[in-house]
Structure 1
Amino acid sequence: MANKNHTDSVSRPVGGTEYSWCRSVQIGTGITVLSLLLIKPLNLQTLQTALHKLQYSHPILRSKLTHSNPLTFTIPPTPHIQIQFHDFPSTSQLIQTNPTFERVLEHELSQNQLWLNRVDSVETDSDTFCCTLYTIEEMKKWVLSFRLHTSICDRTSAVVILTELLNLIGEKNGGELGSGDEVNLGIEELIPSGKANKPFWARGVDLLGYSLNSFRFSNLEFKDVESARTTGFVRLRLNSVETQRVVVGCEARGIKLCAALAAAGLLAAYSSKDLPDDQREKYAVVTLADCRKELDPPLQSHNLGFYHSAVLNTHDIGEEAELWELASRCYAAFKNAMSSYKHFSDMGDLNYLMCKAIENPGLTPSSSSRTSFIVVFEDPVIDDTSGLQQEIGLEDYVGCSSVHGVGPSVAVFDTIRNGSLDCSCVYPIPLHSREQMQELIDHMKKIIVDGSA
């Protein structure tokens, strides 16, 4: 339960999954960034007012991470976010290259200094929600960037924040804001009774299986395992006709888009190695599912926080594999796991193993801290707000999270915008090079388009 102290702040200890994110953010995974490319100047007072309304409506956005024992969310009674502003010279100095939208996004994805362990610091509280406005073309273009700690913001939360913010800036009244008094518990506390149960011996067997299998997982070639890492960004885009063909192909086979994306990634990775025809490889796929509707009590999209759960499946890939057979196999494995409630019963195991990989990178292949090849989401984001975006001068936007600490080689954040698929793909650099990842994503696109023609 949340507690109040004499300052009327509300606090509660972080939950198990939230704690795992606190650990991973410290080494570079779980920095969630929502970046907006604007071609109209934004009134800073209007933006500040909108952000304070968001923080009032969703108290978790006011939270500070208190680096105590245990780690705690402390939620002050009033909004406090402040906008940092960088003019063009300041932005250029920060980015140290031509400050494009993509480079600013990558810069934000690598900013975790705020969330390093500060137990020995005089100031032990750190904000979980930050806002920065960058100028990337003098008086012509700006990047409005929101950086959030993933423990308080999964992808569903990021979509709600974007939608509500656009409505507030555009002075629209549509949409449902939070009540202003919610302080939701962590996901573990809301799992329905019995759904997360697992016999002690079974938990031990699963932990051992996950640990041993991780050494057998195949991946892309690692280019540089020694140098410090940041998160790189590349896009996979289809036009509306190509997107419709893929969606129809998925519907005809009773599967979801996530399975087609995962299958295309696996095929692209396997074919990049020029292996003998008879050689097979085992790849790990993680699928993230929004659990809000399954919880007790059920939550809605506007209940912000991290309420996704991960399902890890492995797949053997050989020369004979093709898109739709593999996609159907990926989806069947995911659905079977969900039907067995493994997204709940294995939650603690996967959190534990992620923390162990953080403590001991040697437990992962080549000490790369890669725990899977690819991460996808069960459902894409559907965005049909182009009218409002044009009204406020929003030319483009991207929402994704960093992966350069511990995690996959590539994570795919898929959105269908006005009928066209737009995937934001993030990866650890220089563990994988820009050229290597661009080739992988280009090949994924070709596999999807050719397989759906």
Structure 2
Amino acid sequence: MSDSLKNVDGQSRSLGGTEQNWCKAVAGGTGITALALLISKNPNISDFKKALEKLQNDHPNLNYKLQRNSLNGSATFVINPPDHDDVRLNVMNLSKTSELLQTLTSHGSNSSLSPLHVLLEHELNVNEWSENSTKGLCLWFANVYTLADDKRVLVFRFHAGICDRTTAVSFLKELKEAMGEKEGGGCKDEGNVGIEELIPVGKTKKTLWAHGKDMVAYSVNSLRLTNLKFKDVKSSRRSEVLRLKMSKHETQMILAGCKLREIKLCGALAAASLLAAYSSKRHLITSNFQRKKYGVIFLNDCRSYLQPSLSIHEFGFYHSAISNNHELKGEETLWDLATKIYKAFENSKKNNKHFSDMTDLNFLMSKAIDNPSLTPSSSLRTSLVTVFEDPVIETSTDAERELGLDDYIGCASAHGVGPSIAIFDTVRDGQLDCACVYPAPLHSREQMQELLANMKIKLLEGFKMADMI
């Protein structure tokens, strides 16, 4: 581990390239991670605060503050000791919550959404990190919203630099354990460095010529990709969310179809999104089988591949991206396309592209942020869809029921640089529940509702055609 990413003076830590990139992305609106929980039992605020204090003690990342160099714009994590009098917990009473909800639901497309959904979207679009501060910016926040009938919505908001999806899942698990007065899985974040410092030797090996060739290929191919129709390219953007849910039986059939073909759920979700997008353009296509090329980005958790390997309880951003393009001409079936998409991803991983292309993709992402005009309609869209290699698998426990945890949604914002739709998939008690994030008003809620409805149709048609029900 090089000294450049250790504590520089006992008080700060330099950031790796991926972390620096996320600081730029989050400032523009992509990478604000929110975890919203609906609690039907009035939580004891004192116990809740103690649980958060425990997590702060277990995870130094939760005590970081973000500082930027005013000269070159580079970012640094300033390490503060845990301050139990400074737990970032804001409690909003019933009157203020009701007033906020009334304002948020006054927009036509929000009127039918639940308080949990509305407050999640609200938090995804609160961005303290778009401004500079000489004192440093906190990297996570906790808010409690009070609803009627002794219900609460708890929302945690994190900067992507310290929180990938695995971190968010582990945070929730450890919080539930701490609230239940059980020993959590905190491990003092032994990694506590940027992902680049932990990549096994030789996995990033690539010649200068190969770097240049790949970056040109990524850049040229991105200009040839088909995008969803943009509704409004001029107005300021925000992230909105829709949920794609499947019944337990439907979920079992989809997972069985994936297992039969030795692929993962991400392949089926990516294929369904591409097929749905292609069918949405049918009225614009003159021939029956006009070719359209779409971009798919896979995010995979690299903790187990790093050296030393990290546990899921070590907080930070340790995901990498693999970008592939796929051409459709309208005659593809769900399972054939899903297999093709997943095998392309799997082959890229076998060739270590999740490590060797990390610098290239970070560079291109940074250039897109700095120069939006390089992307179609200055939309900053990098692909049609982003999916995770593995879904989150959750099974409700007696402890959760005792806490009154009725529902929750976790996802990250995507209205800066990113895909047209980012899918955060969870299989909860055997049922598929996807939080699908998109940039509005670049895309409208009605447009994305139609896309998700078509995705569900494609998924259902897939296993019906395979005679699996």
Smaller-chain TM-score bracket: over 0.9
SS in 2 for 1:3: coil
**Amino acid of the residue matched to residue 432 of structure 2?**
L
Q: Which residue of 2 aligns with 1:268?
A: 276
Distance 1:273 1:100 in 2: 34
Two-structure CA RMSD over aligned residues (Å): 1.4
- Within 5 Å, give how 1:249-328 maps onto structure 2: 249-274=257-282, 275=285, 276-328=287-339
- Within 5 Å, give how 1:14-413 maps onto structure 2: 14-68=15-69, 70-79=74-83, 80-95=86-101, 96-98=103-105, 100-112=115-127, 114-118=128-132, 121=133, 123-135=134-146, 137-173=147-183, 175-179=184-188, 182=190, 184-274=192-282, 275=285, 276-413=287-424
**Amino acid of the residue matched to residue 97 of structure 1?**
L
Encode CA deviations 1:352-406: one digit per residue, 9 max, x unaligned. 1111111111111111110100000000011013422211011100110000011
1:341 Cα deviation after fit: 0.4
Aligned residues of 1:59 and 1:183 also touching (Cα < 8 A)? no
**Amino acid of the residue matched to residue 84 of structure 1?**
N
SS in 1 for 2:181: coil
**Amino acid of the residue matched to residue 385 of structure 1?**
S
Distance 2:228 2:336 in 1: 22
Encode CA deviations 1:296-341: one digit per residue, 9 max, x unaligned. 1111101110000000000001110110000001011101100110
1:4 Cα deviation after fit: 6.5
Aligned residues of 2:88 and 2:140 also touching (Cα < 8 A)? no
Distance 1:182 1:46 in 2: 27
2:461 pairs, out of 431, 435, 450, with: 450
Q: Which runs of 5+ in 1 are unaligned?
A: none
Distance 2:82 2:377 in 1: 47
**Amino acid of the residue matched to residue 94 of structure 2?**
F
Distance 2:406 2:394 in 1: 14
**Amino acid of the residue matched to residue 126 of structure 2?**
Q
1:182 Cα deviation after fit: 3.4
Aligned residues of 1:58 and 1:182 also touching (Cα < 8 A)? no
SS in 2 for 1:362: helix
Distance 1:386 1:364 in 2: 46
Aligned residues of 1:84 and 1:131 also touching (Cα < 8 A)? yes
**Amino acid of the residue matched to residue 102 of structure 1?**
H
Aligned residues of 1:48 and 1:82 also touching (Cα < 8 A)? no
Encode CA deviations 1:119-176: one digit per residue, 9 max, x unaligned. xx4x3401111100112x3343211000000111100111100000011112233x42
SS in 1 for 2:348: helix
Distance 2:369 2:104 in 1: 31
Aligned residues of 1:59 and 1:182 also touching (Cα < 8 A)? no
TM-score, scaled relative to structure 2: 0.92
Aligned residues of 1:323 and 1:447 also touching (Cα < 8 A)? yes
TM-score, scaled relative to structure 1: 0.95
**Amino acid of the residue matched to residue 155 of structure 1?**
R
SS in 1 for 2:104: coil
Distance 1:43 1:82 in 2: 16
Distance 2:296 2:131 in 1: 30
**Amino acid of the residue matched to residue 278 of structure 2?**
Y
Distance 1:106 1:50 in 2: 25
1:232–1:440: structure 2 CA closer, same or farther, 3 Å change rule?
Answer: same
**Amino acid of the residue matched to residue 71 of structure 1?**
A
Aligned residues of 2:90 and 2:144 also touching (Cα < 8 A)? yes
1:215 Cα deviation after fit: 1.1
Which 4+ stretches in 1 moved above 4 angstroms?
none
1:97 Cα deviation after fit: 3.1
1:416 Cα deviation after fit: 0.7
SS in 1 for 2:390: coil
**Amino acid of the residue matched to residue 73 of structure 1?**
F
**Amino acid of the residue matched to residue 407 of structure 1?**
G
1:183 Cα deviation after fit: 5.5
SS in 2 for 1:258: helix
**Amino acid of the residue matched to residue 176 of structure 1?**
G
Aligned residues of 1:60 and 1:183 also touching (Cα < 8 A)? no
1:277 Cα deviation after fit: 1.1
Q: Which runs of 5+ in 2 are unaligned?
A: 106-113, 465-469
How many residues are matched? Answer: 443
Aligned residues of 1:37 and 1:141 also touching (Cα < 8 A)? yes
**Amino acid of the residue matched to residue 100 of structure 1?**
P
1:251 Cα deviation after fit: 0.6
